[in-house]
Amino acid sequence: MPAAVTDEQNRVDREALLDAAEKLFYANGIQAVGMDQVRTASGLSLKRIYRFFEAKEDLVVAMLRRRDRRWRGSLAAHVEQVPDPRERVLSLFDWLADWFAEPGFRGCAWINAHGEFGPSSEAVLAEVRAHKRAFHEQIDTWVRATGQALTEPVFLLAEGAIVTAGISGDPAPARQAREAVAALLGVTSRER
């Protein structure tokens, strides 16, 4: 009789599954990827996959949730190392420009998921909204430190840059949004 699967093995398998799903879903689209492709990429049986997640929708939600923690954590680590509050806000767009220039950049995973599922999945929609709310809160914290009430325009410029870069495949929207935010913050070119 085989030994019971350990908690550590469950953790390793779950992470491998989420890694495979995220890579496939982000590169190809969620609807275009079948669970057999996820099985092959993860090296796990379908039976094992469905022990972790009862439905593909559950896998998508878990993947988005994990990606959110990593994505916003990376962003915060970059932005929060900048001491000046106005430059901190501008550094958000520098981080976005680096992300947009990464090989395989396909835009916002949450917008992509929303586009594929729309209102047909309340669970995916809730996860997309949770990510956007958390991103907005991050921006609000950084903008409030400048003493200016500019959270909404900064958030909209960041979101617009993400969507535009995802569609165009060009990282230039990050620079353009950065210039617009610099003007809103009153940062002159000498200060940059």
State pLDDT tens for residues 86-106.
Answer: 999 999 999 999 999 999 999
Residue 190 domain flag? no
Per the structure, the complete domain to which residue 116 belongs is given by 56-185
What is the C-alpha R_g of the chain? 19
One domain for residues 42 and 76:
no
Can you give the pLDDT at residue 39? 96
Cβ contact 139:157 at 8 Å: no
One domain for residues 101 and 12:
no
pTM of the model: 0.91
